[in-house]
Amino acid sequence: MSKPGRDIALSDLQLAVVRVLWHRGECSVAEVAQALDATRGLKHTTVATILTRLRKRGVVSLRREGRQLMYCARVSEPQVRRSMVADLIGNLFGGDSRELVAHLVRESELAPGDLQRLQQRLRGDNDDA
């Protein structure tokens, strides 16, 4: 996997493509297109373009297997999540993660028990993992 400090911002569509690679491992363009067919209905050429752009950014790697191109994620889900949440906090909450938590509490985005689990995690208790 790639080094963890990178800024990795992915669009919704790019994220869907990379999720296929996280769940299935190495895949061809056709396999990714097939995996996304039911929810996205993307053409093979669209998936190929997305994967090519992700490769240029270092998000996925490419290996040739005969005439087929095989792609694999070079970044992990936690790396992408960390980077995208950091961008969200920086752009919408002025870099203050407490403001994000306060927003979630104010907007009732937390399910019952979430606040207690968050407090446990802040204390270092990770029983729910």
Worst-scoring range by mean pLDDT, 13-17, 18-22, 88-92?
Answer: 88-92
CA–CA separation, 21 and 50 (whole Å): 13
pLDDT for res 129: 44
Tell me: the pLDDT tens digits for 16-34? Answer: 999 999 999 999 999 999 9
- Rounded to the nearest 10°, the torsion over CA 48, 54, 58, 64 is -10
pLDDT for res 3: 52
Domain annotation for the chain: domains and CATH numbers: 12-73 (1.10.10.10), 93-123 (no CATH)
Report in angstroms the alpha-carbon separations of 1 from 40, 89, 102, 125. 27, 24, 33, 28
Model confidence at 1, pLDDT cuts 50, 70, 90, reads low
Across 61-74, b (16+ Cβ under 10 Å) vs e yields eeeeeeeebbbebb
